[in-house]
């Protein structure tokens, strides 16, 4: 289950999406996420579904990566759906049993939340799967550059965000190894009540924290050994340049947003 987390992983390729400017991909991802919450009917989500499927096909990312990214959050999606079903009131009663009541409005809201969470994970996974950590850092920094005028450390923020994203798969892999090692020594992470399970996690969390601190220290030493001193005066071998494919991708995304806003007026 831990190895199934795909956020932070990069799959090299030469597809249309891989070749897009990282700034454009970040902006498209942000617009895509906002658009998910703008739509308030199922007709609008048809266009988002088509856009998502088209993006996956063009990126040439195998569907198994998308499925692997969704597997760890199936329980979270299920819990979210159940909470919306049983905690949302309304006017049209669909089911009643003792104190349990299910309304049509709750079912609709639960369906919306499931769709939004699934597409949210797919969209963020596509961004990291098709963008290398270096390009992601450069893109975030370029987008944050205007904030330098008000004292925001754009480069440092971009570097921290990218390092954190990059080390998610590494830490997950480390967690899996430590868990298997502790299980082979007799540790039990599944039996017992909630409090007992929390106590059983101590043999897992302690070595994981120690390993994380060691990796952070090694990374800091490696950056210092390469004379890293932040973003001031740094140059790049590859400069980010917008091309026709970037304008095409952004235009298609803009059309999607216009359709989504228009769909809110559909009855």
One-character DSSP codes across 49-66: HHHHHHHHHHHT--HHHH
Percent of the chain with pLDDT over 70: 91
**223 belongs to a structural domain:** no
For the beta carbon of residue 239, count every other beta carbon within 10 angstroms: 7
The predicted-structure confidence for 133-171, as pLDDT tens digits, reads as follows 778 878 888 888 887 788 777 777 877 877 877 777 777
Q: Do residues 260 and 48 make contact, with C-beta atoms less than 8 angstroms apart?
A: yes
pLDDT at residue 2 tops 60? no
Kindly calculate the radius of gyration of the chain based on its CA atoms and give it in whole angstroms.
22
Q: The pTM is what?
A: 0.75
The predicted-structure confidence for 232-265, as pLDDT tens digits, reads as follows 666 666 777 888 988 999 898 888 888 887 877 7
The residue that leads in pLDDT, 21 or 260, is 21
Q: Do residues 1 and 71 make contact, with C-beta atoms less than 8 angstroms apart?
A: yes
**Surface-to-core class of residue 86, CB atoms within 10 Å of its CB (0-12 exposed, 13-18 middle, 19+ buried):** middle
How many Å separate Cα 42 from the centre of its chain? 23
**206 belongs to a structural domain:** no
Q: Which residue has the tokens 């803009």?
A: 254
Look up the domain containing 246 and give its range: 2-166+240-263
**Using CA of residue 181, residue 198, residue 9, residue 211, what is the dihedral sign?**
negative
Q: Do residues 88 and 103 make contact, with C-beta atoms less than 8 angstroms apart?
A: yes
| CA separation for the pair 60, 15 (Å, rounded) | 6
pLDDT at residue 3 tops 60? no
Q: How far apart are the first and last CA of the chain?
A: 42
**102 belongs to a structural domain:** yes
Q: Quick check: helix, strand or coil at residue 243?
A: coil
Please report the pLDDT score of residue 266 as a whole number. Answer: 64
Q: Do residues 19 and 246 make contact, with C-beta atoms less than 8 angstroms apart?
A: no
| CA separation for the pair 130, 59 (Å, rounded) | 7
pLDDT category at 123 given cuts 50, 70, 90 is confident
**112 belongs to a structural domain:** yes
**162 belongs to a structural domain:** yes
Q: What kind and span of H or E run contains 44?
A: helix 42-59
pLDDT at residue 231 tops 80? no
**69 belongs to a structural domain:** yes
The count of domains in the chain is: 1
pLDDT at residue 173 tops 60? yes
């Amino acid at each position: 289950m831990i190895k199934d987390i795909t956020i932070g992983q990069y799959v090299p390729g030469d597809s249309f999406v891989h070749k897009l400017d990282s700034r454009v991909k970040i902006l498209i991802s942000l617009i895509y996420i906002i658009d998910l919450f703008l739509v308030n009917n199922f007709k609008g989500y048809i266009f988002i579904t088509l856009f998502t499927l088209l993006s996956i096909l063009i990126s040439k990312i195998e569907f198994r990566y998308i499925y692997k990214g969704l597997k760890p959050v199936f329980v979270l999606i299920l819990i979210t759906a159940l909470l919306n079903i049983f905690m949302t009131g309304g006017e049209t009663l669909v089911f009643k049993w003792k104190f349990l009541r299910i309304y049509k409005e709750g079912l609709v809201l639960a369906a919306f939340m499931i769709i939004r969470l699934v597409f949210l994970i797919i969209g963020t996974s596509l961004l990291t799967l098709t963008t290398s950590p270096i390009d992601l850092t450069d893109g975030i920094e370029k987008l944050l550059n205007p904030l330098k005028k008000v004292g925001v450390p754009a480069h440092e923020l971009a570097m921290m965000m990218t390092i954190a994203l990059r080390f998610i798969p590494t830490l997950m892999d480390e967690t899996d190894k430590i868990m298997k090692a502790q299980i082979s020594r007799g540790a039990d992470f599944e039996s017992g009540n909630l409090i007992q399970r929390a106590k059983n996690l101590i043999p897992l969390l302690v070595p994981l924290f120690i390993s994380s601190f060691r990796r952070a220290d090694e990374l800091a030493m490696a950056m210092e050994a390469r004379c890293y001193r932040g973003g001031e005066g740094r140059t790049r071998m590859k400069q980010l340049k917008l091309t026709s494919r970037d304008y095409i991708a952004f235009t298609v995304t803009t059309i999607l947003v216009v359709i989504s806003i228009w769909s809110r007026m559909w009855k």
